Amino acid sequence: MTKRSDAITKGFERTPHRALLKSTGVPNDQMDRPFIGIASSFTDLIPGHTGMRDLERFIEKGVHTGGGYSFIFGIPGVCDGIAMGHKGMHYSLPTRELIADMVESIAEAHRLDGLVLLTNCDKITPGMLMAAARLDIPCIVVTAGPSLTGTGRNGRRFSFVTDTFEAMGQYKAGVIDEKQLFECEESACPTAGSCQGMFTANTMAVLTETLGMSLPRCGTASAVSSLKRRIAFASGERIVGLVRDQITPRQILTRAAFENAIRVDLALGGSSNTVLHLLAIAHEAKIPLPLELFDELGKTTPQLAHMNPGGPNFMEDLDTAGGVLAVLYQLRDQIIDNPTLLGPSIAQLIASVAEVDEDVVRPVSSPIRPEGGLAVLKGNLAPQGAIVKQSGVSEKMMTFSGRARCYNSEEDAMAALLAGEIVAGDVVVIRYEGPKGGPGMREMLAPTATLMGLGLGDSVALITDGRFSGGTRGPCIGHISPEAAQGGPIALVRDGDTIALDIPARSLELKVAPAELEQRRSAWRAPEPKIKTGWLARYAKVVTNASTGAVCNAD
């Protein structure tokens, strides 16, 4: 078998290369084995990643059992929860591009034959998948898994988002006292792992398995389970077979794979951030994937699970109910057969399902909602589209008309919320927070969670060219494109304007006469960039808007 690594191991002219490899400890008789990179995003900074040293060991064991030779290299990560609400959140989405670039750089520079991508949290998993699609060398993904829920008195279950961020608003409103707030802080994150609900990290883990890029149960198995160790071992073993058979990501990441992933996302009421990420991964895989497809599929894909933050079920419940395969089984008449890295196709895996807990993953005949969890809105306020997680919106707020209250940053909006300036009937407009304007399209969980904590979730809407956490619920519309920094219509909104939201009609309208809007447009001037130095200043110059996945243009 001709291998990529032959470029650094074969022939007399590679004597210096072999000498350097031997200096790392590679024995001479291992030079002919496939060289497998383990791209590990281990860090002490992220709860979802602190357990990865253990998983690295099991991946290594699997690689060597399978006949390969492994090399671990590091990939950075940002914890969105820790980066939330301050300058750090500017860096979160842009790290997706850095991660893809770093994996590409190491794999190409060292001529690795295959990769195991060890990941977990929000931007790290899509960044790894983007690299896999771009490189198109054998790759397999291991997502490290969710945390367990915390336990409290009277059987209460705690989770990070609903029991810390929303608790801030409840404390401010006097609903809970300081002792109860501290109990949330102590109980919300009891183990290592990604946040426990159907937030971005877990949604992406589920979609990675749906795409066929990780092994069954990988998307839902707990971070602290022995099953996760066994999946890590099996993934290490499997990557060597993928190298020998030359099975590469673009053979798996087909249009059918993306459609299946979108349907599973919709059925679970997953994070709105997955729209950005699936668009970006498809871009790297050279698969045309229009934003409108999410809405087209959403109208025919029922929501089958009621997952936290909008519902009572957590990732451990989904895993016990049958995991990703349970969702695929319930959607089987709409799922398109497609290959997976395991070997059996999606249809064959579905056929292996023996039982589904239908209290957690309902049948299509008895859905939570007749439509999927995400909706794409358009109108004169979002000509290129906007995203709402309709699975987290109450029936009362599916249609809403209110007064615009405009803020040019998350901080200004948050200050207004905490000062009690936002009242029933308002539409909070947060702009200049898009990919260019932010820069970095900050995730704004604090304002949305505060709205819910203050009891305004059924009387106030929030719209932005930024984005939201997977933990966001309520009438919150993000990804408005074009963004304000591009001169999009959201830049022209003024305090007191009427904004009309109609989710069933997929409409987001600014009730201002066209002539008045043109007059405002002629007077509009792009503001000074918020960040003028460093990597983010460069990022702002090349990033596209949310409707295309916020990808970076090579030109």
The mean pLDDT of 513-539, rounded to a whole number, is: 95
The mean pLDDT of 390-407, rounded to a whole number, is: 94
Homologous superfamily of domain range 376-548: IlvD/EDD C-terminal domain-like (3.50.30.80)
Q: Place 554 in a pLDDT band, splitting at 50, 70 and 90.
A: low
Please state, in angstroms and rounded to a whole number, the distance separating the CA atoms of residues 216 and 325.
8
Q: What is the pLDDT of residue 497?
A: 98
Predicted confidence (pLDDT) per residue in 365-391, tens digit: 999 999 999 999 999 999 999 999 998
The mean pLDDT of 237-242, rounded to a whole number, is: 98
Predicted confidence (pLDDT) per residue in 466-478, tens digit: 998 776 778 999 9
Closest CA to 440 of 472, 409, 413: 409
CATH 3.50.30.80 domain locations along the chain: 376-548
pTM, whole model, 2 decimals?
0.94
Predicted confidence (pLDDT) per residue in 278-327, tens digit: 999 999 999 999 999 999 999 999 999 999 888 899 999 999 999 999 99
- The burial class, CB within 10 Å (0-12 / 13-18 / 19+), for 174 is exposed
CATH 3.40.50.2300 domain locations along the chain: 30-148+191-351
Q: What is the pLDDT of residue 162?
A: 72
The rounded mean pLDDT for the chain is 94
495 is in an annotated binding site: no
**Sole residue written with tokens 């950005």:** 276
122 is in an annotated binding site: yes
Domain 30-148+191-351, CATH among 3.40.50.880, 3.40.50.2300, 3.40.50.12780, 3.90.280.10: 3.40.50.2300
Asked whether the predicted pLDDT for residue 555 surpasses 60, the reply is no
123 is in an annotated binding site: yes
Catalytic residue among 187, 271, 469, 481: 469
Q: Can you say how many angstroms the Cα of residue 67 is from the centroid of all Cα atoms in its chain?
A: 33
Number of Cα atoms under 13 Å in the Cβ half of residue 227: 17
DSSP code per residue over 440-480: S--B-HHHHHHHHHTT-TTT-EEEESSB--TT--SSEEEEE
* Residue 469 falls in the annotated catalytic set: yes
443 is in an annotated binding site: yes
Predicted confidence (pLDDT) per residue in 413-454, tens digit: 999 999 999 999 999 999 999 999 999 999 887 888 888 888
The mean pLDDT of 68-92, rounded to a whole number, is: 93
Residue 463 DSSP label: E
